Amino acid sequence: MNRAEAEEREYLGNMVRRLQEAIQLLENQISSTRRSDQFHEGIMVTSAHMAKGLEFDQVIVPSVDASNYRTELDRSLLYIACTRAMHALTLTFHGVPSLFIAETEV
């Protein structure tokens, strides 16, 4: 395995761990979150692209790090992901958060 493959494997492993942490966080918070009558209970893992136009009771956006959200396209996708939340939004990051977080009025 060359260096690039090893780095990609490590990156993907970190993403999987972060998604697992986000799912665990969601499972822990689901009982205390207000729910709408429109949605069934459960967890949906999706991309911002696929979630466009949908709404969810709670949204967790993992890995909102400066290294993952740098470009205007990233900013647009982050906006889409964040605006899918009806009742609760959780952003997670490791290290330096994305500069786009500082632009929000949370």
pLDDT at 105 over 80: no
Structure tokens that stand for 10 in this block? 């490590």
Q: Count of alpha carbons within 13 Å of 36, Cβ hemisphere only?
A: 10
The pLDDT tens digits for 80-93 are 999 999 889 999 98
The pLDDT tens digits for 3-26 are 888 888 888 888 888 888 888 877
* Per-residue pLDDT band at 36 (split at 50, 70, 90): low
Rounded-to-integer distance, Cα 70 and Cα 101, Å: 11
For residues 49 and 24, the answer to whether their CB atoms sit within 8 Å is no
Structure tokens that stand for 98 in this block? 């994305």
Q: Write down the pTM of the prediction.
A: 0.59
The pLDDT tens digits for 60-69 are 999 999 988 8
- CA dihedral in degrees (98, 104, 75, 57; nearest 10)? 100
